[in-house]
Amino acid sequence: MACTCVVGLQWGDEAKGKIVDLLSAEHHFAVRYNGGANAGHTVVWGDRIFKLSLLPTGVLHPHLHAVIGNGVVVYPPRFIEEVDQLIQGGVQVSSNLSVSEHAHVIFPYHMEEEKLTEQGGSGSNAIGTTGRGIGPCYQDKVGRTCGIRVGDLLKPDFLRERLKFIVPRKNQLIQAFTATPVKPFDANQLADQYLGYAERLKPFIKNTTKILHDGIKAGKSLLFEAAQGSLLDIDHGTFPYVTSSSSLPSGIWAGSGVSTRKVDRIIGIIKAYTSRVGRGPFPTELYDGPTGLGERIRKIGREYGTVTGRPRRVGWLDTVALKYTAMLADVNEVTIMLLDVLSGLDELFLCVAYERAGERITDFPSDADELAKCKAVYEKVPGWSEDVSKARKWADLPANAQRYVERVSELLSLRVSMVSVGPDRAETIFR
């Protein structure tokens, strides 16, 4: 059976959840392999809207087995909150959801550490993170000495002993970063609290690598949901303004235990424009004030972070960056989301190259300092005045909207397989 990966090719928030939703009927498993509750998926489900940040979007389809892979970092209260939100909303969540025993656990001290490095004396070194403890938890994972995995929550004595070792170190570290006294964390109290969470998590904690391989052997198909966008990938993104995991499909192998060779179809998701939350260079950003085009796109596109509510930075589509991420993600095709947001503009701009020190370049410099020196070089394309949100097939789109999509396809040398003109499932054009 075919396996698919849905991956964002920009800085996240490409509306991947909708595509996962559309593909769910063809798959048996929905798998997250990276990130944690820093991701934000808004999924419109009939007349209901669910905002998930940790669970795979696929959990909304009870026929799918939703899997949180070992590459994810899990904050148990958030896990419980999302499960409860779904149950209250009438979605079945039981044996159709599993979380890897090898996924790492986020503790409140991770968030405190993050707060201090983001808001503390380091000021200009802040990354603009989501504040969910993601970076410090991954630091503990690769540092090994202080990492705690989901499976450890099921071993009360072991967990308590680990916390007795870890918590004093964390208290010292946190205190060292701040001039004002901080209330220290208490190892026993944290152990009690997390053992309480463990009671709720227990039925979901599994050897997910085995579950997925058994599924593949039985001919089942897997849908991998990348969290964040490819430009936030820890290795290939715009470091240091990235997240702490491998958001590219290369993360699948390490983050789920399933070889990327099993994935037949990699769908790159892009918005019709670009957005970014957090800090870092963004060559096509629109800085045109509260009455400008940037604000208009932000409002119409509802460009506010699902997790933090922060206004997203917005700008024109950057095909230099997209060619880079499409290459790294090895995508077979792309989908263009939120095309409707660009309706009503006389002209649109596509970034086709950068100018750096008087030189025109078309290779994306992923180094943040280098990227900051780049100025976008644009190609002007005509806009369209018609509302495209009622278009249901290619022929319904105005000629200039078709031209825009075709030009993007041409610049990326990739087929555009779907165009989304609204949040609802029906508001999709298949090509």
Q: Which residues bind ligand IMP (CB under 6 A)?
A: 11-13, 38-40, 127-130, 132, 134-135, 227-228, 232, 241, 243-244, 277-278
Burial of 118: CB neighbours in 10 Å, binned 0-12, 13-18, 19+ = middle
- Smallest gap from Cβ 235 to ligand IMP, in A, equals 14
- Smallest gap from Cβ 125 to ligand IMP, in A, equals 13
Q: Are 29 and 215 in contact (CB under 8 A)?
A: yes
- Smallest gap from Cβ 232 to ligand IMP, in A, equals 5
Q: Of 277 and 341, which CB lies nearer to ligand IMP in the complex structure?
A: 277
Q: Of 4 and 243, which CB lies nearer to ligand IMP in the complex structure?
A: 243
Phi, psi of 4 (to 5 degrees): -130, 150
Residue that is written with structure tokens 């599993």 in the block: 98
Long-range contacts of 369-374 (CB under 8 A, 24+ apart): 371/238, 371/281, 371/283, 372/281, 374/281, 374/283
Q: What are the CA-CA distances from residue 67 to residues 13, 106, 383 (Å)? A: 21, 18, 42
- Amino acid symbol at 37: A
- Smallest gap from Cβ 81 to ligand IMP, in A, equals 17
Q: Are 67 and 212 in contact (CB under 8 A)?
A: yes
- Smallest gap from Cβ 133 to ligand IMP, in A, equals 8
Q: Of 232 and 252, which CB lies nearer to ligand IMP in the complex structure?
A: 232
- Smallest gap from Cβ 276 to ligand IMP, in A, equals 7
Q: Of 12 and 257, which CB lies nearer to ligand IMP in the complex structure?
A: 12
Q: Of 53 and 343, which CB lies nearer to ligand IMP in the complex structure?
A: 53
Q: What is the rounded distance in angstroms from the CA atom of residue 13 to the CA atom of residue 259?
A: 26
Residues designated as active site: 13, 41
Q: CB count, 10 Å around CB of 393? A: 9
- Smallest gap from Cβ 90 to ligand IMP, in A, equals 26
DSSP assignment of 330-377: T-SEEEEE-GGGGTT-SEEEEEEEEEETTEEE-S---SHHHHHT-EEE
Q: What is the rounded distance in angstroms from the CA atom of residue 52 to the CA atom of residue 81?
A: 10
Q: Of 96 and 306, which CB lies nearer to ligand IMP in the complex structure?
A: 306
DSSP assignment of 409-420: HHHHT-EEEEEE
Q: Of 108 and 344, which CB lies nearer to ligand IMP in the complex structure?
A: 108
Instruction: Report strand pairing: 347-356 vs 359-361.
Output: antiparallel
Closest residue to ligand IMP in the complex (CB): 278
